[in-house]
Amino acid sequence: MYNHYQCTAAYAHIIGGPLAPDIRGIVYLRDVPGGAEVYANITGLPPYRPAQGDSPPVGPHGFHIHERGDCSVGDPNDPFQGAGGHWNPTNQPHGNHAGDFPVLFSNNGNAWMIFFTDKFNVKDTLGKAIIIHENPDDYRTQPAGAAGKRLACGIIRCLYSYPAY
């Protein structure tokens, strides 16, 4: 029998924290030739609010893979810090992290997106967290893109695996 299985599809159930308890969703990751396809379906996002004075906008929402699969709330005013920083296994500048995803645009609280990335395969992401942030990612501020507070979190788990030969 085979002792090693390779995960080719994964998911993360996204749950809102104390700053945005209505957020719910699912993110699927699937190996495809040359990388991975990521599918996100999120509901309950806060409505867009433009930047005012020194306050950043609310939305579009930063969306990333973070280093650790820890979705414990911790400090309710600054939740999900246990997930660590953006996942960056090749030590790239921000904007080119493996965990940098496109922002989520709230459409009456809903966001749906599919995209391709050549930065990882599904097995590389298992056990890490997906975080939705309050603010848009600027893809340049080091190390995390000024994406603001963490609104929701989900841990990436294997959905489908097959025997490795």
CATH code assigned at 136: 2.60.40.200
Q: Could you tell me the two tokens for 58? A: 């609310």
Regions of the chain with pLDDT less than 50: 1-2
Cα dihedral sign, 104-111-70-21: positive
The per-residue pLDDT for 3 is 52
The per-residue pLDDT for 147 is 86
User: How many angstroms separate the Cα of 83 from the Cα of each of 3, 21, 108?
Assistant: 30, 18, 28
Q: Rounded distance, CA 73 to CA 112, Å? A: 25
The per-residue pLDDT for 165 is 53
In the DSSP assignment, the letter for residue 92 is P
Q: Could you tell me the two tokens for 17? A: 């924290």
The per-residue pLDDT for 144 is 65
The per-residue pLDDT for 4 is 63
Coil, strand or helix at 125: helix
The residues, any chain, with a CB within 8 Å of residue 10's CB and separated by 6 or more, are: 28, 29, 30, 122, 125, 126, 156, 157, 158, 159
Q: Characterize the bridge pairing of strands 63-66 and 129-133.
A: antiparallel
The per-residue pLDDT for 123 is 95
The residues, any chain, with a CB within 8 Å of residue 119's CB and separated by 6 or more, are: 35, 97, 98
**Tens digit of pLDDT for each residue in 116-150?**
999 999 999 999 999 999 998 887 776 666 888 99
Query: What's the domain count of the chain?
Result: 1
Does the pTM surpass 0.75? The reply is yes
Enclosing domain of residue 123: 5-163
